[in-house]
Structure 1
Amino acid sequence: MKLRGVQQTKWWGVVIFSLAILAFPLVVTQSFFITQATFAGIYAIIAIGLGLLMGYAGQISLGQAAFYGIGAYTTSVLTTTLGWSPWLSLPVALLVSGLLAFVMGYTMSRLSGYYLAMATLAFGIIVHTLLVEWKGITMGASGLYGIPQLSLFGMTINQGVPYYFLVWFFVLIVLILSLNIVHSRAGRALRSIHDSEIASSSMGVNTGQYKMQVFVLSAMFAGLAGWLFAHMSYSISPSAFTFDASILFLAMVVLGGSGSVWGALIGTLLIRLVGITVHALGEQFPFITSDFEHVIYGLILILVVIFLPRGLFPTITSWFDTASIKRTKKKEALAVVPVKRSIS
């Protein structure tokens, strides 16, 4: 009965969230906010994958921006240089991102914790350096231009509402896939690895295989986000895939809660809202520059780690669960009517 309730809650959440996605362009019509919501969807795909990696496999990655850039540059090179269709370049972008993650995960399979974080950080720096220096393929720091627009059934998917719906369609696919993984046998195995890898191994869980699979999956999610970003921007440069971007994705997951798929999604929306607010304040107050945004992200990370170590979403849901349990116990206590014995 409990499992059935979990499944019903999961799918009701997806339905409500889908309705909110459909209603947003009807309520908010300004092109600026539509564009920001589209970027939020692209980042949400990366954050969900990183949330699976951190919150369930217990692995810290600081190289998600690298896989993000690999997906973007793969489709950009194939479509601008070789003339491929963007839709044909999509599986290649996913495959390249996943293959590099597999190679990286295989060579670093003995690493975990902070050592893995440093290794992924080094990988991100290497990829960014290659994007800048490999001018024959990536055009160097100036980037690639003329990336074709997406079209479907003869209709061009332009920036704005059409691309917004495309991005969030992929977000829903990633969300449903991730929720199914979390509530499956693999998800239970990943949670056991997160709690204690030694105990999981002693119970027969192939920890190395599961960690490799979720690492590759998170990289493919980032590659998908890169593909969407490239065909939305029509031009890309290495400056979009720096270490700062990896820290941004990390902040999204930590804020929302790494132990929850919904937490990663909500954390992305909140971080994007903070970014929009900082830019709006910067137009009113000149002393608030773009660097101030990084200060805010750092402050958010510090405060969340100190006061909300589980993240915002898991903490709030636990509060509601505790309150619900207290109400249930109170009703049960009131329902108990004392029986008086008759005196004969």
Structure 2
Amino acid sequence: MLPLALRRERHGPGRSASVADKPAAEVAVDAGLVRRLLAAQHPDLADLPLRLVASGWDNVIYRLGDDIAVRLPRRAAAAGLIEHEQRWLPVLAPRLPVAVPAPVRRGVPGHGYPWAWTVTRWMAGTTAAEAPPGERRALAEPLAAFVTALHRPAPADAPLNPVRGVPLPTRHDAVVGRLTGGLVPQAERAAALWAELSATPAWAGPALWLHGDLHPANLVVADGALAAVLDFGDLTAGDPATDLAAAWLTFDAAGRERFVRALGDAYDAATWRRARGWALALATALIAHSDDAPVLRAVGDHALREVLAG
């Protein structure tokens, strides 16, 4: 069972770090604090069994009873991401075909704790990243349905994100830096492909709602079906190619063909080329910065192989 994403939390949008680089908590979050916050704001939940299940770069997650979880930022950089989810997931969730971590209760600062916090459903299942790529093919159509439902024009006050949904060339320095850092295999081939893909014409349509971090570690599978999509901390609006990178991050060639076919003619050839470029960019990030997270490193290695293969 997974509350949100039981994996490494970002220490900035789209960034990751080694264990040695993990930022120190700016506020100590322990079971006693969680109990006090619940007792003051949601007293009907305060006596349920409580146990720590994750303490990541950004958030601390406690399981509360059998069916819910409490997610609390441990530093200021994450507080805004929680607020984005609280503001927008209740708006988006009703139109999405699978569960998402919309808040079932909201928490406010108190007892010396300075930020908003969230009570969510406990998502049952395992992540798609734990299954071999060949076994993920059945997710192609339901993931395409999720993308279709999400990718609608976003309002002007949608969250901003400097590293998702943006023109692909703005990621050039970061990608080249990783490719020249000695950690990414086949770096010369990848660099040549990046130069080609990043020259694709930019998205000219309206800014669409984006998940921003759509890869198999954020997909929950239960009984062989897509049950939930997790971790909307990178939620933003912009070029849908960012999310379409899931075609390479999640699937092998056969699964990718199914995913693309299920989306029909919703996206033109240039968007799919940018999506491949986004997959390359995200693969290099996962490879270069996931030394402490073997599941994410495996996602990066898989994506790079798929991107280079075509």
**TM-score higher than 0.5:** no
TM-score by length of 1: 0.23
Which structure features the higher share of helix residues? 1
Greater RCO structure (CA 8 Å; 6+ sep): 1
TM-score w.r.t. the length of structure 2 is 0.25
Higher relative strand content:
2
Kindly name which structure, 1 or 2, has the bigger radius of gyration based on alpha carbons: 1
